Chains A and B, each alone.
Chain A
């Protein structure tokens, strides 16, 4: 007799999530420590190179302005890397069938994989934040915004990583998406500067970049200053995530680039 799983296969979902988390904890030197070191290096060069020339924003020093942006950038890159690499490796090595065969629905697969990426983003973000806190003062202005944007950023990039991972046939494709889409979007999103410093057209382009709202809202949670509208930002972020979730769900249920 077939086993009865109920409305949600909780055990299956948990197993998938645990696998995704163990995957990156197993190589935590690369997946957690390396982003901490990289972010600290960025903090060092930008404060050394530009700390003198950049006027501080009110009572906030350049380093305090920069730190939330760098934490967010680490979150973005790592949540994307987690889900995309997991899917591409599974596809190349053929063990993707181990995901498709078990009694897991497309919703459960989406939730399980995305939560793995979400956890990586949050753990990396917290570690980078703690690493920076050793060197510079990091104050909290509104923790609600910090948590809201950290969670949504991790989720957005975890979902984007799934779109990329499902679409990609090999590692080169993911490297190309990272190099030519994710890195440019995260660099040009106000990580390193206030977009008020940008010339007119570039400011407009920045406002069309969803990553801008993630960084802007996240930074507001630390320093209490935002370049854009916080409510527009929250709305954009939630809409993008809902859209991406639907897309990923659709890709998995139709078996796009997953099933023969």
Chain B
């Protein structure tokens, strides 16, 4: 008797494209469902930061490289919002799925570890990019940015979104409860994001801090995006990009291996 073809195991080829897309799509929809907070929140807080700098502190002062202080700080504020959003959108879905037990749905689907990692990592990256673009768009009426090399800025933004999205996934895997998530946010992500040169020029730092800041990946993200948007970079953009690509690959590999061994997601 011929086997019924509809009962044969389905074949997915090398990559279960539909499965990965479904996982990504689910988290994109989660993002949109809370659109008021996921997009409106960062826009409001970023504009507040800008307002504080512009209105009150007379942000027209020089910040080096021929930029006014506001031109200098605007890309920093945008990237701060983007990186924070990447972290949140990487970690929150995992913590939520683990907390509610829904992680089982992902683990029992025909997705291998690489595909699960890609699903969580890429959705966080995309959501972070949407946040970043929205904040940038909201800011352009108030700041005169030359947009000299938009593609370079985009490249750095993608690298930064992936970096913080993957960091979020990593924290999401590690966290047993929301308290752990908040701790990582307060004691890791905020310090990295704030002490990154987003809000102050490097030459306002003491010499030692100027060296230490090179070890902060957020610095490279912000410096690269600022270079693309304003043409001013404090460090070599090519070297920054190399640092970010290496960090991205290392993080992606780590996330993939942790999911493969079932770190804190399988019994």
Contacts and interface: CB of A to CB of B under 8 A. Distances in A.
B138 interface: no
Interface stretch (B52-60, B114-122, B160-168): B52-60
Given A41-B191, A41-B194, A49 B34 contact: no
A34 B184 CA distance: 10
Interface stretch (B35-43, B102-110, B233-241, B250-258): B35-43
A48 B209 CA distance: 12
A53 B56 contact: no
Nearest to B51: A188
Grouping DSSP codes into helix (H, G, I), strand (E, B) and loop, the B interface class, with mixed when no group exceeds half, is helix
A53 B44 contact: no
Interface in B183-230: 183, 186-187, 190-191, 194-195, 198-201, 204-205
A30 B184 CA distance: 10
Contacts of A44: 194-195
B207 to A, nearest CB: 14
Contacts of B56: 192-193, 195, 197-198
Contacts of A37: 186-187, 190-191
Nearest to A193: B56
B48 interface: yes
Contacts of B87: none
Contacts of B34: 172
A38 interface: yes
A52 interface: yes
Contact of A184 (B36, B48, B183, B199): B48
Contacts of A187: 48-49, 51-52
Nearest to B52: A192
Interface stretch (A5-13, A159-167, A175-183, A249-257): A175-183
B101 interface: no
Interface string A40-72: 011011101111111000000000000000000
Nearest to A54: B57
Contacts of A199: 55
A141 interface: no
Most buried by A among B52, B56, B58, B182: B56
B41 A45 contact: no
A44 B204 CA distance: 11
Interface in A142-199: 172, 175-176, 179-180, 183-184, 187-188, 192-193, 195, 197-199
B73 A183 contact: no
Given A37-B186, A188-B51, A53 B61 contact: yes
A175 B48 contact: no
A179 B190 contact: no
Contact of A34 (B52, B57, B182, B195): B182
A3 B44 CA distance: 53
B2 interface: no
A27 interface: yes
A180 B204 contact: no
A52 B204 contact: yes
24 contacts: A27-B179, A30-B183, A33-B186, A34-B187, A37-B191, A42-B194, A44-B194, A44-B195, A45-B195, A45-B200, A48-B199, A49-B53, A53-B58, A53-B61, A172-B36, A176-B36, A179-B41, A180-B40, A183-B44, A184-B44, A192-B52, A193-B52, A195-B56, A198-B55
What 3 A-B pairs come out closest when comparing CB atoms?
A193-B56, A34-B186, A49-B200
Interface of B: 34, 36-37, 40-41, 44-45, 48-49, 51-53, 55-58, 61, 69, 73, 179, 182-183, 186-187, 190-191, 194-195, 198-201, 204-205
